[in-house]
Amino acid sequence: MGASKTDYFTEQQNQMATIAKALGHPARIAIIEHLLKVNACICSDIVDELPLAQPTVSQHLKELKNAGLIKGNIEGNSICYCIDEKTFQLLNGYFSNIVNTVTSQKCC
């Protein structure tokens, strides 16, 4: 088949997987890092920053937006993108919890 059996997992697990999946491509990591670097909203230069065609970048931005990782505000005829803080806080909390749990156990 190939259809992932989303129903069998908790909503939280599916949500975390969706977010992680959205970050699971180097172009999308590069977009996030670029947004961080310029440290503000940017309005169009993402296409110039990446070695990808405009429709491809647009698609990646859409996926990041759907996963809640970035926000996009319409600003005239261009769109202003920036990082959506709360999703990254969710990620940060998730992984810091894992690290805290794991370090207190002995393993292989």
Task: Annotate 25-38 with b (16+ C-beta within 10 A) or e (fewer).
Answer: eebbebbbeebeee
Binding status of residue 23 toward DNA by CB under 7 A: no
Binder among 14, 15, 68, 72 for DNA (CB under 7 A): 72
Distance CA 53, CA 55 (A): 6
30-38, 74-82, 89-97, 99-107 -> range binding DNA (CB under 7 A)? 74-82
Binding to a second copy, residues 6-25 (CB under 8 A): 6, 8-10, 13-14, 16-18, 20-25
Alpha carbon 98 to chain centroid, angstroms: 19
Structure tokens at 33: 């890092």
Residues that bind DNA (CB under 7 A): 1-5, 21, 24-25, 27, 43-44, 47, 52-56, 58-63, 72, 74, 76-79
